[in-house]
Amino acid sequence: MSSIFTKIVNKEIPCYKIAEDDSFLAFLDINPLAKGHTLVIPKKEVDYIFHLDDTLYKELFAFAKKVAPAIEKTIKCERIGITVIGLEVPHAHIHLIPINSLYDMDFKQPKLKLTQEEFAAMAEKIRGNL
Ligand code: AMP
């Protein structure tokens, strides 16, 4: 069965898209730790990030590097934190999170609740800063 992220890639379920090319997709996390929390994925479904081939692995991080400045321009923050967890969705992904302190990277804290309109407006703003 396809991962939920493959379903997003195949447009079977929607996402708040930030950026896309032939091999990668970036979209807002629907349970964000902070406004602008973005996921960057390879379109190819591989569960564990360290099982990506070297080229795809490097290109995934290069794609995230293009997306991060646009998030930073949109959300006032100290910097963009980057982390990989992968315990919930078995499809490799990088989290890009606007942060001001270590605590902002703590996945145990409650997630933000945003409306569809707020997500859509945020994605549009970040896209505008790409
Ligand atoms: P993890 O696999 O532990 O890195 O966590 C997966 C992340 O994907 C979580 O932060 C979820 O909120 C996020 N997530 C799960 N389903 C979706 C979805 N349909 N759209 C956007 N983000 C999602």
**Structural domains of the chain sorted by starting position, each given as residue range(s) with its CATH number in brackets:** 4-128 (3.30.428.10)
The continuous run of DSSP H or E covering 85 comes out as none
Between the CA of 64 and the centroid of ligand 1 the distance, in Å, is 16
| 85 Cβ closer than 6 Å to some ligand 1 atom | yes
Average pLDDT per consecutive 10 residues, the chain (130 residues; last block may be shorter)? 96 98 98 98 98 98 98 97 97 98 95 98 98
Tell me what pLDDT residue 1 has: 85
**Residue closest by Cα to atom 22 of ligand 1:** 29
Q: Is 97 helix (H, G, I), strand (E, B) or coil?
A: strand
| 86 Cβ closer than 6 Å to some ligand 1 atom | yes
Tell me what pLDDT residue 54 has: 98
Q: Is 10 helix (H, G, I), strand (E, B) or coil?
A: coil
Q: Full-prediction pTM beyond 0.95?
A: yes
Tell me what pLDDT residue 35 has: 97
Minimal CA–CA distance to 62: which of 15, 104, 90, 94?
94
CA-to-CA distance for 27 and 91, rounded, in angstroms? 14
| 6 Cβ closer than 6 Å to some ligand 1 atom | no
**Which active-site residues does the annotation give?**
93
